[in-house]
Chains A and B, each alone.
Chain A
Amino acid sequence: MRNVISVHDFSVEEINDVLDRAEGMVSIAKGEADSDLLKGKVLACIFFEPSTRTRLSFETAMNRLGGGVIGFAGTEATSVVKGETLADTIRMVSGYADAVVVRHPREGAARLATEFSDVPILNAGDGAGQHPTQTLLDLFTIRTEKGRLEGLNISLVGDLRYGRTAHSLALALAKLGNTINLVSPEGLEMPDEVVGYLKDAGMFGTACHSPEEVISNTDVLYVTRIQKERFPDPIEYERVAGIYRVDPALVSQGPEDLIVMHPLPRVNEITPEVDALPQAKYFVQAFNGVPVRMALLSMVIGGD
């Protein structure tokens, strides 16, 4: 049984294998071809925290492969409000489904879920921890748009302290041989353990507070939202909210083949004027969640 918990669990070969499979799923994801690969199988999506893209794209992926979906989004109508542990919820749900997708506000929740489940667990985000399926779809987008997944200069911009997508992505990109620049407001720098890994891998570029400093030498500008819900102190949030704004003027300072990505939702980090530019790839990126999650589901449920 294969779980999908952390990007650390994937070798370079396994990452490439997932991306190759995802490539083969694109026409099914678009509805241009049919599949009954997971016909008769059930996926449980249990989301203890809000989600739009991750939940819907998992559900779409399962439906496109001919399977069914059960689950909940928000804990109001569940036994969790009665004090049920995550362990008990997982024991119960894993009896109803062939795989379980979990999003939870506590770090390590998905890892814990694997100890109480008889079916594969897929981590759809655990607090400020890992979000491996987002990482894989980000990698898929970069490979599709840039034609390769090594030797690139990737600049991560925004909340690098609390932004889990940035942590997972930085580690995976470094593992694949890309140089990482870190651009964040003061106080929201990348955690030391991630920076340490980048340095040890020889893939640390630079760390600064302004995207202007790195844009001319950037192949991929990966912008993240300053996440209000992760801030313990609202005053601290107000200090940094809106500090970065990617607009056409900034994009024009980058190389011609620069691409701009964002895990979404965005607030005001990227102005709407950027949407029409050829560099804007964040909606393609959101779509790519479907074929990548189809690839993962086919591997963990289909035994493929």
Chain B
Amino acid sequence: MPDRYMKVQRIEHGTVIDHILAGSAFDVLSVLGLSNDRSMSILINTQSKKGGKKDILKIEDVELSEQQANRVALVSPQATINIIVDGEVVKKFQAEAPKVVRGILTCSNPNCISNQNEPVVSEFKLGSDKTHRYVCTYCERDLVDVAKRVCS
């Protein structure tokens, strides 16, 4: 198929985040905290070869580090990260949910002490079960709506 008919063109340099949970692409963008001047493409609810729907995010001229990429797992644990150089995939790995998240999120409990004017950094620990939930170290509540909790 000629490139001009493709939904989204391939990128020469950058990062492609594939297999994002359908409808979560904007949440992934939120947790990555990338500036608005980046060139990027977003596919939402596109067909997955593995069946079902998925989102894809292509970010030009940015190579995400593993640490950055693992933030993606906060909202979409199944996502895969592809680093593209000169049009080729040079590195591919699955985002891994961090065991501890410090500083980048705020607690969803408005009455948590970490949301007050105190000199502390927020901290969340990955629960021991398979539900992929994060628990606030301070108030011990589950973190909800993760993408909305990214520190501005």
Contact = CB atoms under 8 A, between A and B. Distances in A.
A71 to B, nearest CB: 19
Given A87-B118, A112-B118, A106 B112 contact: yes
B118 A111 contact: no
Interface of A: 6, 8, 85-87, 104-109, 111-112, 115, 126-130, 192-193, 200
B138 A111 contact: yes
A108 B139 contact: yes
B113 A115 contact: no
Nearest to A191: B141
Interface residues of B, number: 20
Interface string B104-120: 00010101111011111
Contacts of B141: 107, 193
B117 A8 contact: no
Contacts of A200: 129
Interface in B33-92: none
Given A6-B140, A8-B140, A129-B139, A107 B117 contact: no
Contact of B117 (A85, A111, A126, A130): A85
Contacts of A8: 140
A112 B135 CA distance: 15
Nearest to A88: B119
Contact of B111 (A85, A128, A192): A128
Contacts of B126: none
B24 to A, nearest CB: 22
Contacts of B117: 85
Interface in B126-149: 129, 135-142
